[in-house]
Amino acid sequence: MTGIFRDYVIRGSYLHYYINEGTRSYSLVSKFDLQTGKGNPRMFTRLSNEFEFYSGALDYMRKVYFHADTSGDPFSDFVSQIPRWIKH
């Protein structure tokens, strides 16, 4: 929510809430993975610690890559670029 839908979150004054929840959620997943010996606790710890940064990066990507076409679809430009990123 805080990355791709940041404008909505800010308009509703939810940004602080979603950043806290995202940080807390990744921390809980990290602790769960650590306790069960499965998954990737280090990755989820990093996502938790740097959640606000990654959220900002997603917001930046949305602004740069998601442009509405004439139909108003904000994802059409992004989707049309995917084949260029895929290595064959």
Helix, strand, coil fractions of the chain, as percent rounded to 5:
70, 0, 30
- Stretch 3-9: mean pLDDT, rounded? 75
The predicted structure's pLDDT at residue 50: 96
- Looking at per-residue pLDDT, the higher value among 76 and 41 belongs to 41
Domain ranges of the chain: 6-85
The predicted structure's pLDDT at residue 2: 67
pLDDT tens figures, 45-78: 999 999 999 998 988 888 887 766 677 776 677 7
Whole-model pTM above 0.75? no
Q: Which amino acid is at 60?
A: Y
Q: Which amino acid is at 4?
A: I
Cβ(27)–Cβ(44) below 8 Å: yes
